[in-house]
Amino acid sequence: MSKVSVLAKLRTLLAREAPEQAGTIREAIAQSARTGNEASVVGPANLPRKSRITIGRPDTVEPSASDRAAALDYAKPGQGIIDFHTHPYGSDDSMFLVRPSSTDLSYFNTNYKPGDFQDRELRTLIVQPPSLRDRMPAAYSMFATDKPAILAPRLLDTARNELGMAARKGRFKSIMDDPLFREYFDYGGELSDLVADAAPLLMMRHRAAQGVGRHEYGLSGRTLTPNPESTEANLLQRMEPAALEVLRERKYAQGGAVRSPLNKIKECSCHG
């Protein structure tokens, strides 16, 4: 997907999901692209209370605690809260630049409790801003839910482990037989790395399909091999069906047994 089309989709998403913060968020994206530092905006999504931009370091930002508290206090049931931040560089060793980091997920679960919401929706948005020097194209991922605990970091770890185990057991034969993936592997890519990087996005897709959240993303047209069809967006879309089948089998939302990273069986105390 081209930079232009991703940005057009992002503008449409902001107009729909966070109209009162859309202008502030667009300015935060521009500042992040210029400075190379992460930026954050937290506030009520569709009520006329503007939020400020918080600028952090290149690899992390601590969103404004006062803006977060004001949003939780100001937004009433039926209203949404937007928690936005940028990943100006992503991760050098990641295939999917807008996946949530462990820092993102820890913040999400530490600062937003299920009791805070009362039918309000938390809309988390991560944007990879297009560099003004064209180092990287644009990309974004938004996940909205009124049940923040469904993306607990421990759950993401077990999902990543399950998908990795499924790959080792040959469950992704359709991927291995796909010419685009074979080309990706020929250029040094590893299935294990691809699965690990995709796991948070795939869990968001899984949760959206279960009806406990909404997920929308616009991955970039960044190519992972010389083939113009070998983009991060294309590879994720091709691996999604097989990966979601694995996650459905493990029954995460129903408290099904999931394997820990130590390969011991635990009961998953997931909500939803």
DSSP helix/strand/coil, 142: strand
Q: What is the pTM of this model?
A: 0.86
pLDDT at 106 over 90: no
Q: Among all chains, which residue has been given the structure tokens 């039926």?
A: 78
Quote the pLDDT of residue 30.
93
Q: How far apart are CA 218 and CA 191, in angstroms?
A: 22
Average predicted confidence (pLDDT) for the chain: 85
- Residue range 16-56, pLDDT digits in tens: 999 999 999 999 999 999 998 999 999 999 888 879 999 99
pLDDT band at 4 (very low <50, low <70, confident <90, very high): low
| pLDDT at residue 250, as a whole number | 75
User: What are the pLDDT digits (tens) for 232-262?
Assistant: 889 999 999 999 999 998 765 554 333 333 3
CA–CA gap between residue 68 and residue 228 (Å, rounded): 41
- pLDDT of the residue at 27: 96
- pLDDT for residue 259: 37
Q: Closest Cα partner for 237 from 198, 191, 183?
A: 198
* Model confidence pLDDT, tens digit, residues 59-77: 889 999 999 999 988 888 8
Calculated CA dihedral for residues 166, 95, 200, 170, nearest 10 degrees:
-10
Tell me, what's the pLDDT at 10? 95
CA distance 183 to 178: 9
Tens of pLDDT, residue by residue over 118-128, are 888 999 999 99
Phi/psi region, residue 170 (left: phi>0; alpha: psi -120 to 50; beta: rest), is left
pLDDT at 77: 81
